[in-house]
Structure 1
Amino acid sequence: MRPSDSVWQGNFGYWQNSFIHSNLLIIGYTAWKGFQSFGRGVVICGVDTQVTHSTTTKFDLVPFTLQFIPSDLIGFYWRSRQDCKDILQSSNSSIISSIIPAVATYSPYQDIVLVLFTQRLSATRYANLEKAEPQIEVNFLHNLKITPPDCYEQVYKRWEEFQPSLMP
């Protein structure tokens, strides 16, 4: 699904590519750590709705959450999402049907299956904004130049630099 227009990073309304590029090391770290612990799965990234607000620039810090969902829990995870209930009722099966085959065939050593969705992380900060509808996008990051094991190694070596981003 392509979200509505925004001017974040001057990317003609499509903020996801720039977001992924800016946060690839942390996303790859999460993918590799999850794979080592649970096997194949998907990285779920909840991004604060501020990225769709027109005043956000490429210099703003964008709050987000990351988690790894093992392949056998993907269906359960999507059915249990309370904050995305409305959008998932209509697209639940299409989201799951696009994720499951990708998770079954991706190379965890070279690829990442990533689901980005917008959510309100700081309700008081954005109380004046209209309630944004959740937007969900499935990304298959294939043949990455910086592989998930490389991302893990870089984040591990520079832990102090990344630790605040990995805290809930």
Structure 2
Amino acid sequence: MATSSSDWQESFVAKNLIALGYNAWSNYLAGGRGAVICSLNLPQLNIAGETFRTHYVVRSRLAAFLNAWLAFPDTVILNHHHMNGHILQAVDSYNPETDLVLLLESGAQAAFLYLRALPISPPRSYEAVCQARDEFCLKELNATGLEQSGIGLNF
């Protein structure tokens, strides 16, 4: 049985919910409202498996981005009723503490996903990633025998 594109998109979001939420919240804190853009066209393979490039486009630059991206001759947006105005309206009205706006590119197709009332909120995703990163860094520092105080780490 073939998997529909919406089933595949739901599966992708479910598997990557914390990373998507982290990207949405950290960029919202840095620049305000916007949309997470994820391209599945050039996955990178590393020790963690396949990873995908994500970008965040702030609202003030989103209209120009959409005009350029969706006007590209090879890009077809799925669900044609979701055009630029609808996407911009979603970005203007979403609740960054519970929702995120995602544009997902796969091949020559682009899908607009307005993810509402996420089971793990973007702020909680951000906290989880930061906590895991901090725990990993502390374990690495302890393993090297270095004292924890006075060492600055940049990420």
TM-score, normalised on structure 2? 0.70
**What are the equivalent positions in structure 2 for 1:17-166 lying under 5 Å apart?**
17-48=10-41, 61-81=49-69, 85-88=72-75, 95-119=83-107, 134-159=108-133
Query: What SS does structure 1 have at the residue aligned with 2:16?
Result: helix
User: Does the CA-based 8 Å contact 1:48-1:62 persist in structure 2?
Assistant: no
Query: 2:130 is aligned with what amino acid?
Result: Y
Query: 1:85 is aligned with what amino acid?
Result: F
User: Does the CA-based 8 Å contact 2:21-2:122 persist in structure 1?
Assistant: yes
- Quick check: which has more Rg, 1 or 2? 2
Q: In structure 2, how many angstroms separate the alpha carbons of the residues matched to 1:137 and 1:160?
A: 34
Compute the displacement of 1:80 (Å): 3.4
Aligned partner of 2:9 in structure 1 is 16
Compute the displacement of 1:144 (Å): 1.2
Q: In structure 2, how many angstroms separate the alpha carbons of the residues matched to 1:73 and 1:114?
A: 15
Describe the superposition over 1:100-127 as per-residue Cα deviations: whole angstroms up to 9, x where unpaired: 11011110001001110114xxxxxxxx
TM-score, normalised on structure 1? 0.65
Divergent runs of 4+, >2 A: 11-14, 78-82, 87-95
Distance 1:108 1:90, change over 3 A: closer
Q: In structure 1, how many angstroms separate the alpha carbons of the residues matched to 2:100 and 2:56?
A: 11
Compute the displacement of 1:152 (Å): 0.4
CA-atom RMSD, angstroms?
3.2
User: Does the CA-based 8 Å contact 1:43-1:68 persist in structure 2?
Assistant: yes
Compute the displacement of 1:78 (Å): 2.4
User: Does the CA-based 8 Å contact 1:74-1:96 persist in structure 2?
Assistant: no
User: Does the CA-based 8 Å contact 2:67-2:84 persist in structure 1?
Assistant: no
In structure 2, runs of 5+ residues without a counterpart are: 44-48, 136-155
Aligned partner of 1:127 in structure 2 is none
